Amino acid sequence: MEIVAIEILKALQKSGSIHELIVAAKKDEDNINILSEGPIQIKELASAPYPIWEQITLPRFSKKIKADLLHCTANTAPIFSKTPLIITIHDVIYMTDVSFGGSAYQNFGNLYRKWLVPKVAKKARKIITVSDFEKKEIIRILKIAPSKISVIHNGVNPAFTLIKDGNLLETIKNKYGLPSKFILHIGNTSPRKNTKGVLISYRKYLQNNQQALPLVISGCEEGFILSILKKINDEALLNQIIVLDYLPFDDLPVLYNLAEIFLYPSFREGFGMPVAEAMACGTPVITANNSSLVEVANGAAILVDADNTDEMAEAIQALANDKGKRTALIEKGVENAKRFTWAKTAAKTLEIYNEVL
């Protein structure tokens, strides 16, 4: 959600908008200089625990500056602010998923959203969401009128593209000790990212292939991966996996370019940005046949049942062994990713601002 907000703001800076745009940010980690050269102002507000900052500090600031419109970009918003409200609801997963398999921070955030979002969704003048699938979910779960919800797809940063600089590719490969060919999965501690399913399906793929591609997992610490392997009674599988933890942004497009296959069989996504990013980098994608992933993939990926590790393993094997299939998916994926630009996202966001104003 942070990436989406920053990318839209960067695009709005270039849009020539006649509106005065002011970004309210906490005084600590949100104090970014990424917008310092443009017409958008950043106002630092006193730091506080997020619910207090959002429910007290933010509406007070909005009232003080006499804002004509308040756009809250990350699912939640102040309940009692009198400023006309637009809210971006990226997904409503937390309204139906009551599991507590994530971190304490994630669990608290889910409870906070589950309590707050139905209230602010009804209050908002307009709701923006990121996929047609999620719009249907918001209508179904929150009972919001369809006319109140606008779908604006996320974009893909131009950094995610085909990289032909051999020296750069080699530098990143050596930096992380990567093999010449590998499968890439971007994981997460959240169970819905299905990293456990990826590991089980990869084990099955290994059993049927003597020259199997290695698996590279980014976005997770090795301890987390090891905890999953203990649950599936295969700690030795760690020897077949490279765990990269969290990568700097500049290295991620190169990692996609180096991968032979991108594996992203999530159980549920509001949008699924990594799918579009991988496609833009010319990486063939295997993803799940659920939620918004079908919409984003748009026929340019292999779709599998996220619960079916046999099907996942077969898809990996089929794609790894078929150069023609990989080439066809690369071409489709690159073309499909062109649908998603932050300039389009910003322009449609401005249309919503104008409509509400």
Phi, psi of 57 (to 5 degrees): -65, -50
- In the block, tokens 């971006």 appear at 88
What CATH code is carried by the domain that includes residue 148? 3.40.50.2000
Q: Give the Cα-Cα-Cα angle 264, 270, 276 (nearest 5 degrees).
A: 50
- In the block, tokens 């690369």 appear at 330
Whether residue 234 sits in one domain with residue 86: no
- What residues form DSSP beta bridges with 25? 44
Whether residue 255 sits in one domain with residue 144: no
Cα–Cα distances in Å, from 352 out to 18, 86, 226, 356?
A: 14, 8, 46, 6
Which residues touch 124 (CB under 8 Å, ≥6 apart)? 77, 85, 86, 87, 148
- In the block, tokens 């933890």 appear at 245
Averaged pLDDT score across all residues of the chain: 92
Range of the domain at 34: 2-154+341-356
Which region among 62-76, 134-148, 180-194 has the lowest average model confidence (pLDDT)? 180-194
> pLDDT of 222-247, one tens digit each?
999 999 999 999 998 898 899 998 88
Q: Is 17 exposed, middle or buried (0-12, 13-18, 19+ CB in 10 A)?
A: middle
Distance in angstroms (rounded) separating the CA atoms of residues 126 and 151: 11
Whether residue 186 sits in one domain with residue 317: yes
Whether residue 331 sits in one domain with residue 184: yes
Evaluate whether residue 161 is within a structural domain: no
Whether residue 346 sits in one domain with residue 287: no
> pLDDT of 155-197, one tens digit each?
999 999 999 999 999 999 999 999 999 999 998 888 889 999 9
Count the neighbouring beta carbons within 10 Å of the beta carbon of residue 202. 25
Dihedral-angle region of residue 177 (phi above 0 means left; psi in -120 to 50 means alpha; beta otherwise)? left
Whether residue 224 sits in one domain with residue 328: yes
What would the two tokens of residue 324 be?
């023609």
Evaluate whether residue 160 is within a structural domain: no
What string of H, E and C letters represents the secondary structure of 90-112? CCCHHHHCCCCCCCHHHHHHHHH
> pLDDT of 33-67, one tens digit each?
566 556 788 888 988 888 999 999 999 999 999 99
Evaluate whether residue 284 is within a structural domain: yes
Query: Could you tell me if 173 and 258 are in contact, meaning their C-beta atoms sit under 8 angstroms apart?
Result: yes
With CA atoms as reference, report the closest residue to 284 among 304, 257, 250, 246: 257
Sheet holding 85-88, edge to edge: 70-72, 85-88, 126-129, 149-151
> pLDDT of 278-325, one tens digit each?
999 999 999 999 999 999 999 999 999 999 999 999 999 999 999 999
Distance in angstroms (rounded) separating the CA atoms of residues 330 and 278: 10
Whether residue 140 sits in one domain with residue 195: no
DSSP string computed for 29-56: TT---TTTTSS-EEEEE----HHHIIII
* pLDDT band for position 21 (cuts 50, 70, 90): very high
Evaluate whether residue 244 is within a structural domain: yes
Evaluate whether residue 106 is within a structural domain: yes
Whether residue 346 sits in one domain with residue 315: no
How many domains would you assign to the chain? 2
With CA atoms as reference, report the closest residue to 312 among 229, 214, 195: 195
- What residues form DSSP beta bridges with 126? 86
Whether residue 28 sits in one domain with residue 129: yes
The structure's pTM equals 0.90
Whether residue 209 sits in one domain with residue 106: no
| pLDDT above 60 (res 30) | no
Whether residue 286 sits in one domain with residue 195: yes
Evaluate whether residue 82 is within a structural domain: yes
Evaluate whether residue 314 is within a structural domain: yes
Evaluate whether residue 15 is within a structural domain: yes
Whether residue 298 sits in one domain with residue 174: yes
